[in-house]
Structures are given as structure tokens and as C-alpha cells.
Structure 1
Amino acid sequence: MLGAATLAGTLATLGLPTVLGRTVDALVAGAPSGGWIALVAGLIAVGIASDLAETYASAVSVAGTTAWLRERLVRHVLAVSPDASRRFGAGDLVSRVSGNAAEAAQAGVGVVSAVASVLPPLGSLLLLAYIDPRLAVAFLAGAALCGVVLRAFARRTAAVVTDYQRTQGLIAGRLAESLSGRRTVAAAGTLDRERNRVLEPLADLHAQGRRMWAVLARSVAEATVAGPLVLVSVLATGGLLLVDRQISAGELFAAGQYAVIGAGLGSLTGIFARLARARAGSRRVGEVFAVGPVRYGVRDLPDGPGRLEFRGVTVRAGDTVLLAAVDLDLPGGAAVAVVGRSGAGKSVLAGLAARLRDPDHGTVRLDGTPLTDLSHAALRRAVGCAFERPVLVGTAVADAIGPAVDRRRVRAAARATHAHEFVSRLPLGYDTPLTEVPLSGGELQRLGLARAWPADRLLVLDDATSSLDMVTEMQIGHTLTDDHRGRTRLIVTHRAATAARADLVVWLCDGRVRAVGPHAELWRRPAYRAVFAAAEPSGESVP
């Protein structure tokens, strides 16, 4: 519809000067002019209708493309592994989805607008050549200067717009970080410093905005000078031709109208600016799409006890080795504690077991099946994850535990993880909106545990009980170690008491497995005891 409306409008624009010229000639010669006047009215009506249709089609196209692009972006962001998307930052991703997607959606309409703006001057050139080739030469002389202005504008604008959007994303990213840690900021009394950190790039944004408007203003001024030169050149040439009786008065009138259309080349600066923003937005959106989503297989898990294997697993972050050639064979149904100093690779190992990231080398298998071969449904049905700082997703408390899950199963998971006690005391129980629930760190962790609890083969708990009080932690610890469903439990912990209750302990050091064995045996080593002494300065002693 947009293309048809644009084409119809262009043809009406190009036909109108010629018809007006014939009307003028008819009136001067005293010939019948009613038909020409009717044709003029018809072309004007077509032009008005085309403009209305083009405006409507442009708005619908941009709105539809923006919605489609944002949906694709959101789906893609959620399909990318957390590790792969971490380099963008939450605020920057939101900026790309909300702002840059809308700018990128302007690309199609911008291209059509650019073509629609170029066609009338090109058509004017051909029709001027038809009237008299010398008029076309005069037209080209002025149009060449407009072309130089537009080329310089496009070159200046591209870099400025890209820098502007990048700085916007940087501010959005810092603001998101600050909002997520606002309690820490308030408690530390660093509000002013944090505000300065978030707004630090604002000076650059201001400078880039001024540069962008300066480029636009300069180009508009240049185009304002160059545009009339087309008109002056054509009218001067046409006037001389009229004096020599080589063209008629109507043809001079038509030539003047075509010169006016040609002078509109200068107005392309606005369209070029729109295209520059769309191009920069498309580049930032494309950077997100360039990060491949997690690919899943089609297999289901065979029957098995939940045996977890790491075979030659190596993980890198740039030049840093996070895990190096890890080989582990963890028996199914066991409670396995993973311990080590900060930076030893515990969370990386947990992320691999839950397939929140994939190793750079090696494979991770569950009951003999590589995790990469499992379908998404099979993987998430078999493996549940709980984290130190869970983020609750959904409208109500029940949604945070199990979206679209039977309420009976939600309550069972909450009872198993001792979340039911505080949830049942809320005003609306499991239907209480999350925005109205002031949760402590321990309550958050219990809800996170409840969300992971239904997994039927493997539970991965990444320091997921660190904020619980001692009594609740012991209750949940016993629930985990005495799990009657026979699931394997991989428990990242800093607490010696949790490690002592586990069937097996994996001790990591600098990305390597230093030892595997029962806690009581490892406790004889001073270096092993030092791991907990560093994590718990109060000095928990659990032989």
C-alpha cells in the first residue's frame, strides 16, 4: 500500500506541471481549456489522496514493524544463554529493545521515502529534457550542488548518530544497575556518588546531541542555498528560450514547476537523518541478533538415577580460564557439595550442570546423554536451578513458584522448601501480588528453591541457602540430603555444615578439581579447612 500510494503521488506530482502548462497555453491561445482544468483537478485530488494514504501506510508500517521487531528481540534475548547476553547489560538491552528497535523499524519507510523523494527530481529532469535539453542541463548544474550537500550530510551524520545511541545505552545500563542495587546504595550513603556515576556520560550525550543538530543545521542551511539555485538556473535558461520563442509560456510555467520540484532535493536532509538513525538502530539491534541463541536437541532422557558427568570440560572468558579440563563422575541420587574459595569456578560448574552455559571444550552428560542433545522441555523437566539471589517472575507468589502449574504442586513445592509457612501468612496467600510482598533474603531464597523443587532428575543449587537462618537452613538441608525422590543434588556452598551433610564433596581450586571425597576425609587437610575459614570468619568447625 505504501509503495502504491507513493508511486501514485509521484506520478501526480510529475504530471501536474505539464497539464498546468497545457492549460496556460490553451488559455493564452483562447482554445477550449475545460478538459485540461478537469484534469488538473483530478491530479490534485489524486495527490491529496496519495498523501493521506502514504501517511496512514507509513504509520501502520512503522508501528507493525516496531512491534514485530521488539517481539523478535525479546524472544531472542530470552533464548540467548545468560553468559552470552551478559556483555550487553540489562539496561543496554532494554534500550535496544525499546528505543533502537523503534528507530530500526523506520528503515523500510525511510528507504521508500528516500526513493519517493528522488523520483520527482529525476522525473523532472527527463521532462525538462523533453521540453528542451538546455533546461535539463541547467537543472543538472544546480542539482549537482544539492548532491554534494547531501553526500556530506550523510557522511557526517552516520558517526554522530551511532555515538549518540551508544551513549544512551550506556546511561540506561548504569541506571538499571543502580536501581537493582538501590538498597545497597542507600545503606552505604553513596547516593550522590552513584548519581554522578550514572549521569557521568550525560555530558558526552549532550555534546553528541549538539553535534548532531549542528550537522543537521549546517546541511539544511547549505541545502537552503543550493535548492533555489536549481530554480534560478532553470528559470533564467527558460526565460531566454521564451524570448527566442523556442518554448511557449506554458512550457516555461511547467519548467518552473519542475525546477521547484528539483529544488526539493535539499529537503532530503531530513530523510537522510531519519535513515541514519534507522541504520544506527539497526546496527545495535543486529549486534543482539548476532549472539546465537541456545540450541537444543530433540532427545528425551533415558531412565536413570541422575548420574552427572563432566568429561574434559574447559570454560574460558576471553583469555581467562574459568575451568580447566574438569573430569567428574558424580553418582546418581547423591547429594554433592561443591566447595572452594571465591573464583574457584563453583558457579561456573553449576551453570554447566544446569546448561545455563556450554563449555568451550568437553561435554556434560546426564545419565549418559549430553545436555546439548536434550530438548528444551526434557532439560527443564529434568533439571531445576536455584540461586543465591533469585529473581521472581510473575504476577503473584504462585506464579513465581510455578507459572501455569497446578496449585496443588505449587503448595507441595513450597512446603518442601519451608516457604509455605510465610506465604500462608500473606494477605492473599499464594495469590498475593509480588509487588506487595516485602520479602527478606531468606524468603526470596525459599521461593527460589520452591521454583526449582519439581525437577525430577537433578537439582542445582548455587549457594541457594546462604541467606537462610540457621534453623531453616538445617531443615532444608535435611530435606535435600534425605530426598526420597532419588534425585541428584549439586549444592554450591560456603558452609561446612552443608558440606558435612552431603554424600560427596567436590573441592575446586583455581578452576581445577583438587579433590573429591567425603567431607570427613577432606576435613583432615588444613587447606580444605581453610576454604571455610576464609568464607566464614566466625570459624564454623564441622569435622
Structure 2
Amino acid sequence: MRAGDRLLTGTIRRGGPWPAVLAVTAVAGAAGELAVPYLIGRTVDAFVARQPGGTPWLALCAAAIAAVMLCESAGVWARGASSAHAAATLRLGVLRHVLGTGQAATRRFPEGELVTRAGLNAEEAGRAPETVTSALALLVPTVGALVALTLIAPVLTLTLGAGIVVILLALRAFLRATTTIAGGYQEVQGEIAARLVDAMDGARTIAAAGTAAQESRRVLAPLPRLRAHGLALWRANASAAVQSGVVVPLLEVAVLTAGGFMLAAGELTIGELYAAARYAVLGAALSTALGHVGGLARARAAAERVAEVLALTQVAHGTRRLPPGPGTVEFRDVSAYGLDVGDLTVPGGSVTAVVGRSGSGKSLLAALAGRLADPERGTVLLDGVPLRELTRAELRRAIGYAFERPVLVGETVGEAIGDTGAAARAACADAFVRRLPLGYGTPLRDAPMSGGERQRIGLARAFAQGERLLVLDDATSSLDTVTERQVGQALTTDDRGRTRLIAAHRLATAARADQVVWLEDGKVRARGPHHTLWQDPGYRAVFQGET
């Protein structure tokens, strides 16, 4: 069984009460539809023969029709509820998995692709309970019609059975073809979404360069392929509809012809002939399953794409806690994704600046130290404990992380920081936050902030969170010179004695550090005090723009 089919099966099984309600209403409605031709036939025979018992049969007909209508109404409600519940469950599962996977998710899939798979594809896959239940419910009138025709006249059953085989073969071919085509259609949708997200991320650059027209063409370049897949879906649906649709009138004509001869021979009554004709139509009800089968095909293709995201390996955490310690970070024979760190120690309580040209691996080394990425080889330890062995709570309590472009999480500015005291003052954020309409209680959506102000909020969050280690990945790049100097002073004179690892671009940051780790071409070229490394022309060239 494919991963997507397993996901759909699990979605249906964990769909709560709605798939069961949908199944009950579908089966009950199908049973009612089966009963209606028999009851009408008995009613017709009773009135033709002028029997006094015709009225009860007429009442039963009305009751059966009312029951079918009630089941259909309840089914519409249950279909919506089951699809919404399944889609919400899938979206939540994908979101949790992506967040638990970390950077590996965005390395594997572009951001726009992830949004498409967690949004549109999860919604399509969420329709599986509706499509599967509705398609299976059509088997009830088909099987019932075969049984009823056998009771009326076995020869008519053979005619219906042959037609059902033809319909099943057409539906099977349609499911296979549509699943493949729908997968291609959804793939192109994801590609367009990924390109659009990239364009929106660089909207200011595009506007400044005057390249909006070119970028629009780049984003929409896959549209011809999307159109081709859409046309292929339409052709597959039309072809299957013609194949299965032709069978229904042919079946009805065949049953009526055979039944007519039997009526003339006195082997059938008028009511039985009517019932046989209706059962022939009901038995061919599988021909109306194209919509459900098409929905199932799209759900299968979408589930396959969602399953690829869920197949990503999540970051595993251990069960250990940290012993007392100063926050010493050790890299033991570490290499990851083109960066070879080898053996490196960041002394507890010290300030270590990581410098190097763009692309040398500064952000990756910072990610390894904060366990936002795991090494492909070697081990990273904090106070003697491998980061992999720490619990999630212990890891995030021990390490505070600040980024160049922080994402602020929470309802208010205070929640985004997690602290409204010393941490905000150390990041030089307290003054401008207090000028907001509600201070720390200002909702984030109502707090317009510049890039530098957002960085200060991100720094304050790191100061408030990290108890032993602060990792700053170019987290002061948007600050003005005065603010950067004030924040730098707070970092170098941290009264809590925490270890600070800073991926730095500015000369002043490196000069204030206790030691500097100099990266070049994915390797540690040298480490030591700034004034010692400054004697090397290659090191000075890293800061050539500033000097």
C-alpha cells in the first residue's frame, strides 16, 4: 500500500463520529431506494387488480421516500462535517510535524510548497471520508438490485451483472489515470505557490529594480503545464462518463426487452416488470460514482504529497537534564552540510565571535550550537551533555537564540519577549516598547516596528530565555551604531555569566569578543583573540568594507 493510501486510511479511521454517521445515512438511504421500486410495484399491482389492500402499500411508499430524503439531508450535513474534521486534523498534524522537523523541512521543500501541501492538499485529502463512504454506499443498491432481480427472474440478473462488470472496469481505469493526472496538477500548483512566496519575499527588491513584469512571467511560467493537466483531467472524466453512461440505457433496454417477453408469456406481472426496470437502473448506479471516484483520485494524489512531508524525520529529544555548569560548548569531530568544524571548545561564560565571508558557514555553526541543526558526523555538547540527549524543555530553557530577521510569536509584545524587565532593557527595547499605545500589552498586529526594533525584540526574547547559552545569528545587523554598541556592551558584560556565541559581521563585535572563530571555505581557518588574528591579512580582508 502506498504511503498516501495509508494516510487516507488513517484519516478515515481517526475521523471521529462523522464517517460513521455518513456511512449510516448512506447505507440507510440506499436501502430505502432499494425498497421504493418493490413498494411501488406492489402498489401498482394492488390498484390494477383493484385489491382493497392498495392503500397500505401506498403509505409505505410515501414513508420510504420520506426516509430517503431524510437520509440525504443528514448525509449532506455529515459530508461537510467529516471533510472539515479530517482536513483540520491533517493540517494540524502537518504543522506539528514541520515545526518538529525544523530546518530539514525547508531544505527539502520550498516554503510555498509546504504551504500548498498543508493547505490545499490537506483539504483535498480531507475529503477522503466523504468520497470513500459515498462510493462504497453505491454498492448497496447494486448488490440489492442483483438480489432483487434474482428473486424476480434470474435471467435478468445475468444481463445486469454483465453491465456492472463493464462499469467497474471503466471506473478502475478512471481512478488510475485521474490519480496520476491530479498528482501532476497539484505538483504544478505547489511550484507556482513556491515561486509566488519567493516573489513576495523580495517584493521591495523587485519594485526597486522595476522587474515586476519579468517576475510575473517567472511566477506564472508553469501555467501552460497546469492547463495541460486540467485538460487531461477533463478528458479523462468525459471519456469515463461516456463509457459508463452508455451502459445504463443499454441495460435498461435489455432488461425491459427480456422482461417484456416474460410479461407476454405470463411469467411477470406489470408491477414486477416495473420493479425489474427500476432495479436495472439502481444496479447500474455505479455509473454515477464518477464524481466520487474522481474525488478519491484527487484525495489519493494529495495524500501522497502530504505523506512526503510527514515522512520527514523529526528532531528527536532525549531524557537527560543538564548538570550545574558554566555553559561550556564543545564540538567534537563535527561536520555538517559542507561545514567541517572538527574539535572546538567555547569556554563557559565567554564571548565567542564567529566571523567569515558570506557562505563560509557562520549561520550553520550557530545552528549546530543551538541544535537547530544536527551534525552529520560528531557530537555537540553543552556542559558535557550531548544536545541530542537533552529533553526539549531543557534544551530550549538552556539556550536562547536570536536571528537577523526574527519572527515574533505571541499575542502581545510582552508575550513575544517573555519578560518585561531586564531582558528588554539589555536589548535596548524597553524605551520604545513603553512608547507603544499599550506598552508591553500592545497586540503585535498593532505595533508597527522597524527592522531594528524587531531585532531588539528578538534579542530581548533570547536574553529572557537562555539560561546558559545565548546564540546570536547576525542578530544586531539592523541596529544603528549607537544601539549596536549598547547591546554589545550588554552582551560582553552579562551579569548572569552566560556563554555567548555570536555569528558576527561587524568589526566592533569581533573586537569585543574573548575569542574569534574564523571560518573560511567551510572550515575553521583559525581561532584566537581578535588582536592576534588581526595580524593576518586574510583575516583583515573579512572586514575590508569596514576598514
TM bucket (normalised to shorter chain) is: over 0.9
- Write the letter of the residue equivalent to 1:161: A
Which residue is 2:13 aligned to?
A: none
Deviation at 1:510, TM superposition (A): 2.3
What is the alpha-carbon distance in structure 2 between the residues aligned to residue 370 and residue 325 of structure 1? 16
Residue correspondence of structure 1 range 244-263 to structure 2 within 5 A: 244-263=265-284
Alignment correspondent of 2:516 = 505
1:444-523 correspondence to structure 2 within 5 Å: 444-454=454-464, 455-523=466-534
Q: Say whether residues 1:18 and 2:18 are aligned partners.
A: no
Q: Which residue of 2 aligns with 1:36?
A: 57
Give the alignment partner of residue 116 of structure 1, picking from 121, 124, 137. 137
In the superposition, relative to structure 1, how do residues 433 and 190 fare at CA in structure 2: closer, same or farther (>3 Å)?
A: farther
Equivalent residue number for residue 208 of structure 2: 187
Aligned pairs (5 A) from 1:303-382: 303-316=324-337, 322-324=338-340, 326-382=342-398
Give the SS at the match of 1:38. Answer: helix
Measured against aligned partners, the alpha-carbon deviations of 1:242-264 in whole angstroms (never above 9, x if no partner) come to 22222222221111010111232
1:430 paired residue among 431, 440, 449: 440
| 1:285-344: CA deviation from partner (whole Å, max 9, x where unpaired) | 21121113222222221110000011121213xxxxx22362112210000111122222
The residue number in structure 1 matching 2:219 is 198
Judge conservation of contact 2:339–2:361 (CA < 8 Å) in 1.
yes
Indicate the SS of the match to 1:178: helix
Which has the larger displacement, 349-358 or 244-253? 244-253
Corresponding residue to 2:410 among 381, 391, 394: 394
Instruction: Write the letter of the residue equivalent to 2:459.
Output: L
Which whole-Å CA distance do the structure 1 matches of 2:162 and 2:317 have between them?
61
Deviation at 1:91, TM superposition (A): 2.0
Which whole-Å deviations, capped at 9, do the CAs of 1:212-258 have from their partners, x for residues lacking one? 22322232233332221111111111111222222222221111010
Q: TM-score, normalised by structure 2?
A: 0.91
Q: SS in structure 2 opposite 1:490?
A: strand
1:114 CA displacement:
0.6
2:14 aligns to what?
none
The within-5 A match list for 1:20-99 is: 20-31=40-51, 32-99=53-120
Q: Deviations over 1:365-418 (max 9, x none)?
A: 10011111112221111101111122223333323322xxxxxx3232121011
* Helix, strand or coil at the partner of 1:205: helix
Deviation at 1:149, TM superposition (A): 2.6
Q: Is the 2:144–2:283 contact (alpha carbons within 8 Å) kept by the matching residues of 1?
A: no
Aligned partners of 1:367, 1:207: CA distance in 2, in Å? 58
User: Is contact 1:228–1:263 with CA below 8 Å preserved after alignment?
Assistant: no
Alignment correspondent of 2:185 = 164
**What is the CA–CA distance in structure 1 between the aligned matches of 2:288 and 2:248, rounded to whole Å?**
9
Tell me how far 1:519 sits from its aligned partner.
1.3
| One-letter code aligned to 1:25 | D
Whether the aligned pair in 2 keeps the contact of 1:231 and 1:263 (CA below 8 Å) is no
Contact 2:176-2:297 at 8 Å conserved across structures: no
Candidates 276, 289, 294, aligned match of 1:268: 289
Provide the C-alpha distance between the structure 1 equivalents of 2:474 and 2:393, rounded to a whole number of angstroms: 25
Contact 1:142 1:233 in 2 (8 A): no
2:251 aligns with one of 221, 226, 230: 230
Tell me how far apart the structure 1 counterparts of residues 178 and 104 of structure 2 sit (CA, whole Å). 34
Residue 203 of structure 1 deviates from its aligned partner by 2.5
SS across alignment from 1:494: coil
The residue identity in structure 1 corresponding to 2:497 is G
Structure 1 match to 2:425: 415
Q: Distance in 2 between matches of 1:15 and 1:432?
A: 65
Q: TM-score under structure 1 normalisation? A: 0.92
CA distance in 2, matches of 1:92, 1:66: 17
Q: How many residues in Structure 1 have an aligned counterpart in Structure 2?
A: 525
| RMSD (Å), alpha carbons | 1.9
In 1: Cα distance, 2:432 partner to 2:415 partner: 16
CA displacement 1:465-504 (0-9 Å, x = unmatched): 1222222222211211121211000011122221111111
Question: Post-superposition shift, 1:436?
Answer: 4.2
Aligned-partner residue type, residue 313 of structure 1: V
d(CA) in 2 for partners of 1:522 and 1:86? 34
Quick one: distance in 2 between partners of 1:24 and 1:418?
89
1:46-66 Cα distance to aligned partner (Å, 9 max, x none) = 222221222222222112222
User: Is the deviation greater in 13-22 or in 496-505?
Assistant: 13-22
Helix, strand or coil at the partner of 2:195 = helix
Output the CA distance in 1 between the equivalents of 2:353 and 2:188: 43
CA contact (8 A) 1:383 1:456 kept: yes
Q: Residue 167 of structure 2 contacts residue 286 of structure 2 at CA under 8 Å; is this kept in 1? A: yes
Aligned equivalents of 1:437 and 1:36: distance in 2?
Answer: 72
Q: Of the candidates 146, 160, 183, which is equivalent to residue 167 of structure 2?
A: 146
Alpha-carbon distance in 2 for matches of 1:42, 1:150:
34
CA contact (8 A) 2:352 2:515 kept: yes
1:176 and 1:411 map into 2 onto residues whose CA distance is 37
Q: Which segment drifts farther, 389-398 or 7-16?
A: 389-398
TM-fit CA distance, 1:188:
2.0
| Partner SS state of residue 138, structure 2 | helix
| Structure 2 counterpart SS, 1:301 | coil
**Percent identical:** 52
Q: Structure 1 unaligned runs (5+)?
A: 317-321, 403-408
Does the residue aligned with 2:333 lie in a helix, a strand or coil? strand
1:438 is displaced (CA, Å) by 4.0
* Aligned equivalents of 2:27, 2:299: Cα separation in 1: 23
Larger displacement relative to structure 2 (277-286 or 107-116): 277-286
Asked whether the equivalents of residues 143 and 230 of structure 1 are also in contact (C-alpha less than 8 Å), the reply is: no
Q: Which amino acid aligns with 1:450?
A: A
Matched, 1:287 2:308: yes
Task: Decide whether the 8 Å contact of 1:312 with 1:362 is kept in 2.
Answer: yes
